Amino acid sequence: MEIQTTTKLSLHPDVKAKADSKKWFYTDTVKEHFFNPRNLLMNDSEGEEYSKNADGIGMVGSPACGDAMKIWIKVDKKNDKITECKFQTFGCASAISSTSMLTVMASENGGMKIDDALKLKPQNIMARLGGLPNRKFHCSVLGDKALRSAINDYFRRSEQTTRIIIEGARIVDPDTKTTDKDIEEAVLDGALTIEDVQKKLKIGIGNKAVIPAVEELIRFYKEKYFG
């Protein structure tokens, strides 16, 4: 009787579907980009050196709380294209593979137009990777957010503030379109004083009235992440 029960169970459609499912496997493309990531800056020294000539730097997440992503871009200003895209990540294999693929997509074939790069979605990255396990889909979200953050940084540096894209954040300085999220990311990147944040984001330089709010946010994020 026990043998018959086991046999019936093994043939149950739900059990068979789970046994046959490959949804938790990584594709060969994902594994290739994990073991041989493209455009990866290997350590802080490489990041600091590359930052000297980068046109935009973006960061999302926090190593203290989970996955974090940092992206550097160089831009062909005449043609409004991203010519180089580098990254570092504190994350899993899916995060590394997704961002590696993203940097390839942004810089291949002579570079992607900035307006097209702003439209990149996790689904586009997933398609090039051949898919990710369902539980790892969120890992592909970090890269495109970090890329948009880097593009916004480029817009600030090049004084193209009208092109800055605001996503789910509160604007603190209307002149520079700097948000509370930008300040959070600046603090996570080591800007712990008002002078450091102003150097990075140009916030409050033309509009001194916003400085108290900026200082309050700096204190809040320092306490949140560093105690």
pLDDT, position 166:
87
* Residue 120 Cα to chain centre, angstroms: 12
Catalytic residues: 65, 139
Could you tell me the residue range of the domain that residue 96 belongs to? 25-165
Concatenated DSSP letters of 137-160: TTHHHHHHHHHHHHHHHHHHHTT-
Q: Are residues 160 and 175 in the same domain?
A: no
pTM of the model: 0.76
Q: Are residues 191 and 117 in the same domain?
A: no
Identify the bridge partners of residue 179 per DSSP, sorted by sequence position.
171
Q: Are residues 32 and 53 in the same domain?
A: yes
Among 203, 190, 188, 225, which Cα is nearest to 153's? Answer: 203
Q: Are residues 48 and 124 in the same domain?
A: yes
- CATH number of the domain where residue 208 is located: 1.10.10.1100
Residue ranges, the chain, pLDDT below 50: 1-21
> 222 in a domain, yes or no?
yes
> 100 in a domain, yes or no?
yes
Q: Are residues 92 and 33 in the same domain?
A: yes
